[in-house]
Structure 1
Amino acid sequence: MSRTVPYDASAVDVAGLEAALRESVDAEIRFDAGSRGAYVTDGSNYRQVPLAVVVPRSVEAGAQVVEACARFGAPVLSRGGGTSLAGQSTNTAVVIDWSKYCHTLVSVDPDARTCVVEPGIVLDELNRRLSDHGLQFGPKPSTHSHCTLGGMIGNNSCGASAQAYGKTVDNVRRLEILTYDGLRMWVGPTSKAERARIAAEGGRKAEIYDGLERIATEYLADIRRGYPKIPRRVSGYNLDSLLPENGFDVARTLVGSEGTLVTVLRAELELVPVPPYQSLLVLGYDDICQAGDDVSRVLEHCSPSQLEALDGRMAQLMREEGAYLESLNALPEGDSWLLVLYSGDSQDDVDEQAHALLRAVGRSEKDPDVAFSDNPEREQKMLKAREAGLGVTARPPDDRETWEGWEDSAVPPERLGDYLRDLKQLFGEFGYDHPSLYGHFGQGCVHTRIPFALKTGEGVADFRRFVERAADLVVSYDGSLSGEHGDGQARGELLTRMFGERLVTAFGELKTLFDPGNRMNPGKVVDPNPVDGQLRLGPSWRPATPETHFGYPEDEHSFTRAVMRCVGIGNCRSHEGGVMCPSYRATREEEHSTRGRARLLFEMLGGHADSTITDGWRSTEVRDALDLCLACKGCKSDCPVGVDMATYKAEFLSHHYAGRIRPAAHYSMGWLPVWARLSRLAPSLVNTLLHTPGLARAGKRLAGVAEARQAPLFAKQSFLQWYKARDVEEPDPADPRTVLLWPDTFSTYFHPSIAISAVRVLEDAGFRVAVPTTPVCCGLTWISTGQLTVAEKVLRRTLDVLGPYLEASTPIIGLEPSCTAVFRADAPELMPADQDVKRLAGQVRTFAEHLVHHAPGWQPPQLARQATVQTHCHQHAIMKFDADRELMRRAHLDADVLDEGCCGLAGNFGFERGHHEVSMAVAEQGFLPAVRAAAPDSLLLADGFSCRTQMEQGDTGRRALHLAEALALGLEGSLPSDHPERLAERPAHPTRAARWATIAGAAALTATAATAAGRALRQRPHLT
């Protein structure tokens, strides 16, 4: 029977607690609705609104937070990456987020192979810092790019590498802990003599050790009998670590306690060498149960570093989602696969291990159901496909919603095949068709996501009945409810079925010993909330269903369903690689991650009586969270479930400012295409006015532009002016040689050399280039500022102008990635029923796509140069970069395509007042340092206007070319071997003398320009 006491968070003096925290703690103290809303849930099915969020600036400050909470009786929840799938990281408590500041690697002892860390350090970051020593922390869950060591200790995380290195508990040497009532100490293995010394000293520490000895003695037989003898038992408290044969290890007893017993302040970890060589063997099977059957045979003949599995259902989902196709194509024949990874000190050794297994199981490397690789890059791609299981299975293309709840059960590996058959039978009994089955089969751990119907009373009742039946099933196999993700709320109520009443009573006594007031993450593991309580959805959930501008065709035309794409995986909190999420990388703020913003949008939709956001589209909290979204679209491709925060932001802004005055930047940069056309009246005058110190400062304030930014210079002659001056016959749209070059605002009015170069290259490839001479625009700047009604009008007029080309199926070539992406993605979502929009999306191509796939026989000039290449975020997300890589290869460019994330400018974002600091912080995360490090004689290539502008204004001393410019110069034979940045024929900033000379004549032009501007605005439809 449990001995914990109930708690009532509503009895906490919240105002007094806030005042005490602000007065005494060096931390970011947040009691506001927006901050609390970003932390209402984790990666689980559960939702609880925090009392507050506190971000301590040091471990000492974190300890002070606990002390203040204890004075007010406030519950405490320690949080790392917030990816828990069992509800451990959501509670009506004071949430302490350790991840922003408390991420120090305190010390490393390479000889002893140990290190000391703070709880907020991310696993990948820790391993990067250890790499110079050739060491790493062994356990590696799939969330390794963003999970923290504190969270791993709390959940006893494992991952695929646990096959070789064990669980987190097996790699913790000591912990520095703090109890709720203020006892702070280091704990670890404790000899009898040490325990005697502690007892002699007396006090709270002696009381705890005495209680631990009593529990270990009283329940000795129960512990030895009641814990399943399997490699993946994560459920329950680790009372087995108190056994004499396990060294009475208090630290390991506390690992996996999910913040319900103590606060972990620091940890001493055991490290392992990084294996220098690897090989991967993949074995194909007819179904996943047969693969499970073969696990024990594989383990009899080898000791692999990893033994993973994925089934045909996951492969099918990947193909339908267009994800990891290269990895799938490398799989051998079969409908399910075992992936066996070997590690060792030589390539011959690891290769021989793989071939020895093949001989033992009667297979050959030449068999169609066998694939072998000793190529590390290829191996990592294939293993990443297995790692992606949670994201791939969370939102299947058939629009079913799948959920955790029974996602990490574990059984003895030798019984795995039969367990899988019984589990599939149970799925069928409840009508849960086709859940994917995959996981860490070498340790008997099975991952899956199940289409529970969590929005109806009947569905929730079935959910509860299923997990109860599944718990009984896994116990019948001498298995564990959890083999990786822990108990939390998802399995806490089921622990009696696994351990029995006596051991669960012992868990309660351990909880009472460390936390007698039940204030440490209450309602989890011990005296848990019901498995079907506090659901994020549930039968009482009644969200708003607002009318929207975008159609959300991939989400059943529902903004609510689009927002629900986020299931809390947290890849947006990674620190390097890919694009997502630049604002999180700069701020380390949950609120400014894709996940945090999705949480706030979910709260905005309401549906719960305690929703933190109550004013819908007018919410200032949601606006503030979205304000630092760069609209880079990185999440659309890099998020495993395809959250598209750029679109959600545009949707929100359109409603938030409906009928209201907008920020000045929405009128200045949001209407940039109009102002760019007006610049043709007097481009030199405009440039002078924009760069004269006093006038420029005043203009920036008026326009809502950051004072530190320089306005881009308008070209003296626009691309359209150049094109019209050619006086060539307009190509026939029906001519198969005709292509339409899209005259985007940036390549037309700012950098016309790009469009001119594109004409030169396309004509060399045998095409006839047409350009619409009537003003057209994709609407990008209106979309990004949420002026969606205007954007739709702009697009409709553009479609009218493009009519003959759409009817003739003329290829339309985009040069600016962000504009091309509008036609491929934004326009079809904004106008999903318009057939011309669909035609346009199908006809628009990138410059490289057209030349690589539709110019047979043409060879680009042989540039024979090194190039450092920045991929525009929208291209990364929407069009991809494969064609560009191939075109550069054909041009003999040795291209180093950067993987340093977003440039930070992101269209209007980096120009807007209040964004400059974040913009530059994003750029300095990787992009600008990589540009500065580029060899002086290498080309710098960046197709995006934002990327080129950030490079030029980012203290690099370099300019970048568009790929079209590089190829055109190659055709002319004028590509020099040094200072390639000089190739960009861009307008120079006017000198001081030139500025004043131009201003001297400005008076005569001012009235004319103003009159023309007014006339143009009155005729706005013709300009837009």
Structure 2
Amino acid sequence: MAVISLPTPTARRAAPDRDIAGLEAALRAAVRGDVRFDAGARAAYSTDASNYRQVPIAVVCPRDVEDAVAAVRVCHEFGAPIVCRGGGTSLGGQCCNVAVVLDFTKYVHGVESVDPHARTAVILPGTPLDDANAVFAKDGLIIGPKPATHSHCTIGGMVGNNSCGATAQWSGTTAANVERLEVLTYDGERMWVGPTDDAELDRIVAAGGRRAEIYRSLRELRQRYREQIATRFPDIPRRISGYNLPDLDEQHGFNVARALVGTESTCVVVLRAELRLLPKPKHQVTVLLGFPDIAAAGDAAPRVARHSPIQLEGLDEKLLRYEREEHRPTEILDVLPDGHAWLTVDLPGDTEDEARGRADALIAEFGGAACLLEDDDMRQRLSAVREAGLATTARTPNGPDAWPGFEDSAVDPEQLGDYLREFGELLEEFGYGATSLYGHFGQGCVHCSIPFDLTSAPGIAAYRAFAERAARLCVAHRGSLSAEHGDGQARGELLRIMYGDELVHAFEEFKAIFDPTGRMNPGKVVHANPLDADLRLGADYAPAQPATRFRFSSDDGSFARAALRCAGVGDCRRSHPDGGVMCPSYQVTRAEEHSTRGRARLLFEMVNGGVIDDGWRSEAVRDSLDLCLACKGCHSDCPVQVDMATYKAEFLHHHYAGRLRPREHYSLGWLPVLARAAALAPDLANALTATAVGKRLAGLDPQRSLPRFAPARIDRWLRRRRPGGTGERGRVLLFTDSFTTAFAPRIAAAAVGVLEAAGFDVLVPPRTVCCGLTWISTGQLGVATRVLRHTVDTLAPYIRAGLPLVGLEPSCTAVFRSDLPDLFGRDQDAERLTRQTVTLAELLTERAPDFAPKVPEGTRAIVQRHCHQHAVLGADADRRLMEAIGLQAEELDSGCCGLAGDFGLTPAHREVSLACAEQGLLPAVRDAGPDTVVLADGFSCRTQVADAGPGRPAVHLAEVLNAAVRARRAG
């Protein structure tokens, strides 16, 4: 048998001669989807969640499967390399390359067919896992593997990586759940592959052609390397490194589909996947077991695994400490049993009694530090803590940045405890001892982020030395270098340590069978680029350190460090809100550069140069930020707290310095000043803003119905008014924000009524003050700072006297709690103001806990939570207060209303704004019963409901409370 001829490693890594202009023209002519050669798109795709950075040639988002086939055909004609990309969360560098990126996630998603009886489904590659599982839920079925990125990882990416997740303890890896794949080779052969018996194999080979050549070569490869395949592959549940050559064996059915799973886009393009579905467990309980250290937890894992759990996870106290330091919602941690490390064990049952009985048996065997967790909500919170592990350990407030690189090893579960001890010793030897160790312990998988120094030559040399030593240690324990994250560039070079030269050559031959010219994701897995090459940072990392208005105190005062904060986890790429806000523009457009991560990548490229060289003047960055709603959802929902609203404000401040701005920056950015002028002649102002001409002059959408200015300013009346309360609970200062004062004075009046009924004396500022929000959101930070300085100085006597400042508008209140300290730093009056600013609900629940005027029995409400309240203020006090007054409130899982800041009022943003509202808010308002209260504290949310909704008004919580107070008095 002839050995397959392989291109040389040098040829594989060398960039092909390319006619870029010709390639672009040909792709635009052939592809109906997006074809992007611009700097913005290339910057957004320059890296994944790994340590690597390779700027792509272009990005193609095919419109459908046939469009993808057309794109590959053009790339083949020009010899352009290709890399297929799913959620872009790969940690080994396999999703970035100097190649044409095929991104299926924007258009090529959906479940094409489901057979609930056969328990199979055909799914398009760009489909997020959670979206697919939502389709199967009605039949009680589920795709078994569930990576931590399940909300946004894609089926194509899972196939490419052979993904696992915690539930692989029960379901097996992605490969174990693949029935068939439709694949396309670089040279154009399109075929379905799967298990192949001898008779079918003979028929395929006899038919001739490219497919026959592939199958014949695969059969010959199996024969040549049969002994090595049988002896050198570790027999462990999490062997992800290398190619799945054992699946070519007869006993595995010569399964070409499963052999291709985990090849990381180095062999074929996956066009469709037929997956096996599993019945969803009917009942689950969770047992928590405590241990003195993480190695002891590893020792116990094999015994626990004999109880057949769905998940068996290990985590140490360092991980939990980091989560507390990052102010994560970690109430669940309070129920953990005593110990310094824990196993979390999910046990299934057909009935609650069966699941509870299995839990009791496990607890009885282990005794000691153990507890049972049956509440589904608490179980989900614990799962969220574990799923946040990567981001939690990557950017810690009180420690160095940590990175992937050897974050994903797996060993024989029987050797896990010993491996953890020796691995911990190796970390200490290299000075990486602060690392948290956690993972899927039931299958011997260990995760960690390691504080490598990737910005100096000695640090990078230590990184390489550690990776080589760690690889040998892993192999000594019958392990795999990767347990689910794949090899890519981080581990591809190390495969010889695990498999030896002969099997690595077999991998090279396997790739060449499908990709003889080496154009599929070159430099990854086989003939891999060095693990210390193509680093995102590197020994020459020297980003610009521009002076900024915001202090970026969480990033050591460095905008460059803020731009580096994104760890690439991709939570911002969820296709629906799912209980959060981030990232509304991505949910509508599904475009990478309109996700928080994509924007962070552009900012990183801006401060480092190379792809984006025009700094603050960059139009590519401006265009990416244009659809950022400044909702601040990422401030809370992003696991590493990227705050894109602040980054956008800073960028706009510099981008427009010394030149004309868009008209809406003047009309809406200076709204507080214009509102004061409008108060002189409100009828004239309303007449002007109601005309299409007036709206166009202001840069606003002529189709929008703008809020009407109030006939008079309530703040002036409130200053003249004598307090009407008893004052038994003391005095409070009501912040008369510009939105409430100019457009909704009824809310301020209602708030005064409520506060006085609760026993407070209500004061208002002696003159007009403003939080500066409109100037902040439009990047006019010089004006914003002056406005805030005036406000802080005006309020200082009241704040120094200890009065709480009560905010009614969430976005304005959030400025005092978030933006003000980052603009003013160690300013004592500003710090006092930040500490003493409260919402109405916070004040009442904390200082008047017995004040609870009841609404009529059975009163229902749907609640649209303002984004800034979700991200900065929190809503626990609101929930407690609504429960206390008897309001049956349903908080909508609707995300952003789409009208944040000046967004949604301009013609260019209309489509995205309304699409955001249609995610959940507007349908919920339409479906609400006629007696259901629509509750929205945010001015923007109420405006969106009034303008785009079914014509029913939304009200503020102060109005609901005041109505209850008045009803009590009348009764």
| TM-score, with structure 2 as normaliser | 0.98
Query: Which residue of 699, 709, 730 maps to 1:737?
Result: 730
Deviations for 1:809-859, whole angstroms, at most 9, x for unmatched residues? 210000000000000000110111322111110110011101001124333
Q: Does 1:78 align with 2:71?
A: no
2:635 & 2:733 partners in 1: Cα distance?
Answer: 28
1:352 alignment counterpart: 357
2:946 & 2:694 partners in 1: Cα distance?
Answer: 21
Q: Does 1:934 align with 2:950?
A: no
Preserved CA contact (<8 Å) 2:725 2:759: no
Preserved CA contact (<8 Å) 1:403 1:452: yes
1:598 alignment counterpart: 600
1:205 & 1:856 partners in 2: Cα distance?
Answer: 74
Q: CA deviation at 1:862?
A: 4.2
Query: Which residue of 43, 46, 51 maps to 2:49?
Result: 43
1:433 & 1:227 partners in 2: Cα distance?
Answer: 31
Query: Which residue of 586, 593, 599 maps to 1:584?
Result: 586
Preserved CA contact (<8 Å) 2:725 2:757: no
2:812 alignment counterpart: 819
1:415 alignment counterpart: 415
2:516 alignment counterpart: 516
2:726 & 2:521 partners in 1: Cα distance?
Answer: 71
Preserved CA contact (<8 Å) 2:649 2:777: yes
1:342 alignment counterpart: 347
1:921 alignment counterpart: 915
Preserved CA contact (<8 Å) 1:720 1:773: no
2:527 & 2:262 partners in 1: Cα distance?
Answer: 17
1:23 alignment counterpart: 29
Deviations for 1:262-284, whole angstroms, at most 9, x for unmatched residues? 01111111000111211111111
1:876 alignment counterpart: 870
Preserved CA contact (<8 Å) 2:806 2:837: yes
> Match of 2:836, as an amino acid?
Q
Partner of 2:679: helix, strand, or coil? helix
2:139 & 2:723 partners in 1: Cα distance?
Answer: 66
> Match of 1:965, as an amino acid?
E
1:401 alignment counterpart: 401
Q: CA deviation at 1:976?
A: 13
Deviations for 1:968-1021, whole angstroms, at most 9, x for unmatched residues? 0111118999xxxxxxxxxxxxxxxxxxxxxxxxxxxxxxxxxxxxxxxxxxxx
Partner of 1:185: helix, strand, or coil? strand
1:488 & 1:731 partners in 2: Cα distance?
Answer: 70
1:9 & 1:924 partners in 2: Cα distance?
Answer: 45
Query: Which residue of 744, 755, 759 maps to 2:748?
Result: 755
Deviations for 1:938-996, whole angstroms, at most 9, x for unmatched residues? 1111110011111111132221111011000111118999xxxxxxxxxxxxxxxxxxx
Q: CA deviation at 1:718?
A: 2.2
Query: Which residue of 670, 694, 699 maps to 2:694?
Result: 699
Query: Which residue of 294, 310, 325 maps to 1:320?
Result: 325
1:731 & 1:165 partners in 2: Cα distance?
Answer: 65
Q: CA deviation at 1:936?
A: 1.9
2:717 alignment counterpart: 722
Residue pairs, 1:654-665, within 5 angstroms: 654-665=653-664
1:442 alignment counterpart: 442
Deviations for 1:269-328, whole angstroms, at most 9, x for unmatched residues? 10001112111111111111111111112123x100110111100111111112132221
Preserved CA contact (<8 Å) 1:4 1:508: no
Preserved CA contact (<8 Å) 2:726 2:759: no
1:802 alignment counterpart: 795
Query: Which residue of 802, 807, 823 maps to 1:830?
Result: 823
2:63 alignment counterpart: 57
2:36 & 2:375 partners in 1: Cα distance?
Answer: 48
> Match of 1:486, as an amino acid?
G
1:3 & 1:816 partners in 2: Cα distance?
Answer: 66
User: Unaligned regions of 5+ residues in structure 2, if any?
Assistant: none
2:72 & 2:855 partners in 1: Cα distance?
Answer: 65
Deviations for 1:472-508, whole angstroms, at most 9, x for unmatched residues? 0000001000001000000000000000011001001
1:850 alignment counterpart: 843
Residue pairs, 1:508-657, within 5 angstroms: 508-576=508-576, 577=578, 578-606=580-608, 611-657=610-656
Q: CA deviation at 1:129?
A: 0.9
- Count residues in correspondence: 962
Partner of 1:3: helix, strand, or coil? coil
Deviations for 1:197-216, whole angstroms, at most 9, x for unmatched residues? 11111111111111101111
Preserved CA contact (<8 Å) 1:4 1:527: no
> Match of 2:333, as an amino acid?
L
2:30 & 2:575 partners in 1: Cα distance?
Answer: 31
> Match of 1:308, as an amino acid?
E
2:884 & 2:64 partners in 1: Cα distance?
Answer: 53
Q: Does 1:904 align with 2:898?
A: yes
Deviations for 1:80-137, whole angstroms, at most 9, x for unmatched residues? 1101010010000000100011102111111100010111011000000111111111
Q: CA deviation at 1:860?
A: 3.2
> Match of 2:888, as an amino acid?
D
Residue pairs, 1:190-339, within 5 angstroms: 190-300=196-306, 302-339=307-344
1:524 & 1:158 partners in 2: Cα distance?
Answer: 20
> Match of 1:240, as an amino acid?
P
1:34 alignment counterpart: 40
The 1:192/1:856 distance shift into structure 2, 3 A limit, reads: closer
1:138 & 1:674 partners in 2: Cα distance?
Answer: 57
1:74 & 1:815 partners in 2: Cα distance?
Answer: 57
Partner of 2:482: helix, strand, or coil? coil
Partner of 1:498: helix, strand, or coil? helix
Preserved CA contact (<8 Å) 1:731 1:769: no
The 1:717/1:143 distance shift into structure 2, 3 A limit, reads: same
Q: CA deviation at 1:688?
A: 2.1
User: Unaligned regions of 5+ residues in structure 1, if any?
Assistant: 978-1024
> Match of 1:304, as an amino acid?
P
Q: Does 1:710 align with 2:705?
A: yes
The runs of 4+ residues in structure 1 deviating greater than 2 Å are 1-5, 7-10, 724-732, 856-864, 974-977
2:729 & 2:930 partners in 1: Cα distance?
Answer: 42
- Higher mean Cα deviation, 416-425 or 802-811? 802-811
1:719 & 1:872 partners in 2: Cα distance?
Answer: 23
The 1:848/1:863 distance shift into structure 2, 3 A limit, reads: farther
2:454 alignment counterpart: 454
Q: Does 1:426 align with 2:426?
A: yes
> Match of 1:875, as an amino acid?
Q
Preserved CA contact (<8 Å) 1:828 1:838: yes
Preserved CA contact (<8 Å) 1:435 1:451: yes
1:768 & 1:536 partners in 2: Cα distance?
Answer: 57
| TM-score, with structure 1 as normaliser | 0.93
> Match of 2:509, as an amino acid?
E
> Match of 1:394, as an amino acid?
A
2:490 & 2:7 partners in 1: Cα distance?
Answer: 19
> Match of 1:799, as an amino acid?
V
Q: Does 1:4 align with 2:7?
A: yes
Deviations for 1:667-694, whole angstroms, at most 9, x for unmatched residues? 0000000011111111122112222xxx
Aligned CA RMSD, in angstroms, stands at: 1.6
1:600 & 1:73 partners in 2: Cα distance?
Answer: 28
Partner of 2:862: helix, strand, or coil? strand
1:184 alignment counterpart: 190
1:1006 alignment counterpart: none
1:638 & 1:445 partners in 2: Cα distance?
Answer: 27
Query: Which residue of 744, 758, 762 maps to 1:765?
Result: 758
Partner of 1:213: helix, strand, or coil? helix
